[in-house]
Amino acid sequence: MLACYTRRTVLYPPPGISHLAEWRHGVRRRQGFTLIELLVVIAIIAILAAILFPVFARARENARKANCQSNLKQLSSSILMYAQDYDECLPPAYFGSGTWVAKWSAIVVPYVKNEGVFRCPSDVPNTECGCGTVPRFPCSYGVNQNVMNPVHHGETCNNTTALISHPADTVLALDAWQAQRFCTVPFEPWPAWCSDITCIGQPAGIRPSDGTNLSRHSEGLNVAFCDGHVKWYKSGTVDYDSARYWTRTR
């Protein structure tokens, strides 16, 4: 019968160390991290964080940009649905005069299901504007006032879609730098009027002379066109002085 033997590995101290306990204590001590090794690990973690954090930030902003595009898609659809119900006449940027003005966003409220559609997720928080006891919330978007002309008391609407010669190239609504200066949107069935002049600020349309380049999304902005499509543009690409994007006929 063959006998089985287990070979045991015995660690012997190197020459010059007389006590085995002292040698084993040194082995255990050398098994830990040194200060240099710890600093190297910290440096690696810092480098990885510097690389990954901007990636995560861009991914989050891309999600916000997509959400904003969805908002503009719904708003442009609401504006075009309004036009279908009113003989192809687009809603005015604002209706009325003096201290009694209805903003375009209040006019299309019946076609919108959620008040959050009026707010871009990348827009900075702002104090909500109120008119009397009517609750209101901010609106992050503006409309092309050359297409959705304001209508004053006694005037008739001439904002028909038939006047837009190139709808795929004509701005309808967009991220607006001054949108929150205007009277914010009351989300009720038909909240047409605002009597607080300090709340109104400026007309609700965005005209070429009013605008400056906005960089709300990755150095650019989202733009909805009169045919309903939404696209991101680098800041400055949609020229506010260009007749290509801002006029109805050309």
Q: Give the dihedral of Cα atoms 143, 120, 122, 173; nearest 10 deg.
A: -20
What number of residues does the chain have? 250
Residue 6 lies in a domain: no
The predicted structure's pLDDT at residue 238:
73
Residue 36 lies in a domain: no
| pLDDT grade for 244, boundaries at 50, 70 and 90 | confident
The predicted structure's pLDDT at residue 11:
54
Q: Give the dihedral of Cα atoms 115, 112, 212, 67; nearest 10 deg.
A: 70
Instruction: With a cut of 80, say whether residue 22 has pLDDT above it.
Output: no
Residue 2 lies in a domain: no
Q: Which domain holds residue 66?
A: 48-246
Per DSSP, the three-state class of 96 is strand
Segments in the chain forming alpha helices (H): 20-30, 35-85, 104-107, 197-200, 243-246
The predicted structure's pLDDT at residue 181:
40
What's the total number of domains in the chain? 1
pLDDT digits over 95-109, tens only?
A: 776 656 677 887 888
pLDDT digits over 33-83, tens only?
A: 688 888 888 889 989 888 888 878 888 888 999 999 999 999 999 999 999
Full DSSP string of 170-182? SEEEEE-TTGGGS
d(C-alpha 107, C-alpha 127), whole Å? 22
Residue 20 lies in a domain: no
Residue 133 lies in a domain: yes
| pLDDT grade for 134, boundaries at 50, 70 and 90 | very low
Average pLDDT over residues 141-164: 83
Q: Cβ neighbours of residue 128 under 8 Å, at least 6 residues apart?
A: 135, 136, 137, 138, 184
Q: Give the dihedral of Cα atoms 125, 129, 133, 136; nearest 10 deg.
A: -60
| pLDDT grade for 189, boundaries at 50, 70 and 90 | very low
Residue 14 lies in a domain: no
Write down the mean pLDDT value for the chain.
72
